[in-house]
Amino acid sequence: MLSFTETHCREDLFPLTLTRAVADIRVGILTIREKWQISGLEISDEIPANIIPSRAFFEEVGKGGLHTALASKESYRVFQFPWDMPQLNDWAIRMDFELLTRNKHSENVPTSNHILGRNEDIFLLPRVNMEHCYLNTTQGPIYIDEGATIMEGSMLRGPLYMGKDAVTKMGAAIYGASSIGKGCIIGGEVKNSIFFNYSNKAHDGYIGDAVIGEWCNLGAGTSCSNLRNTATEVRVWHMHSGTYKNGGLKCGLIMGDHSRASINSSFNTGSVVGVSANIFQPGALLPKYIPSFTWGADGREKYQLDKALADIKNWMAFKQQGLEPEQILTLTKIYNNQS
């Protein structure tokens, strides 16, 4: 059984790790845990959970052990903060594509679609519904998981992952390097972003260089800035230390699980939103940090726990899912710590 260590990075990855282990974070096509499971390796050493491995890394582990592979530093990448993840997603998608498609055959791409680039850089699993779309693999591969629906007119540019049963709306423009999780609904424009499972950005608006947790919903017209007008380093709120840190030249929105934004919400460059925030303040640029269980946008009013849990259950029911008892305990703990 694989064992992961995360004490060196867990708090740096808030709000994403308020509701999950570091190993269950998706970077690229797979979560860290899934990458190791697919590798088939069984090792007794504790694995740093914030390591993004490649097939070459797993081969090195198999030959010389974990510590030998970690010493090379060429066949893996490390993420310490949420804003690291979009910066590494291009590499991670390519590595996962190689890991998942080796010695396997793709379903055929329907002939109504227009392909720019190499056909072999597109991999479709069964039951993908895709007609009259544009796929560009000149900058990286495209992997579309089982049961995904890519509506007509969608424009997909690799490197890109579309998750199982995910949907892109008509005319959606999705740039690399983006990862769209299971059951997500995506419309408008998305660039270099990671959506965890079951989140929606179903309408027009722009999301770039962002990480969106599970069960989030971005209302029509919602957009985020990912570049300062001064073209200088983005300052991002670090939840654990209560200070701002440098997030690179481009950083969009970091949003925890179960948070939602009303129509026409405008997120500042490098914004951070906690867990289960209900955000509404149309027409104004939102604060750069919105705590968990915020009602509104300014953080003065709390989203009451019983109401928040009821609303979460309502949203999950849309996709035939339910809130498990352990998830309720986790959310209750986050709420009490936020009080």
Residues 6+ apart with CB under 8 A from 260: 216, 217, 218, 219, 277, 278, 279, 315
Domains and CATH numbers, the chain: 4-101 (no CATH), 199-339 (2.160.10.10)
> Quick one: how far is CA 241 from the chain centroid?
23
DSSP E strand boundaries for 192-285: 194-195, 200-201, 206-208, 211-212, 217-218, 223-224, 235-238, 243-246, 253-255, 260-261, 266-267, 271-273, 278-279
Q: What is the pLDDT of residue 339?
A: 57
How many other C-beta atoms are found inside a 10 Å radius of the C-beta of residue 40?
Answer: 8
> Do residues 118 and 101 lie in contact, with contact meaning Cβ atoms separated by under 8 Å?
no
Q: What is the pLDDT of residue 229?
A: 86
Q: What is the pLDDT of residue 131?
A: 97
Q: What is the pTM of this model?
A: 0.95
Low-confidence ranges of the chain (pLDDT < 50): none
Q: What is the pLDDT of residue 282?
A: 59
Q: What is the pLDDT of residue 73?
A: 87
134: nearest Cα among 151, 119, 109, 113: 113
Q: What is the pLDDT of residue 335?
A: 94
84: nearest Cα among 183, 16, 186, 7: 16
Q: What is the pLDDT of residue 290?
A: 93
Q: What is the pLDDT of residue 300?
A: 72
Q: What is the pLDDT of residue 299?
A: 67
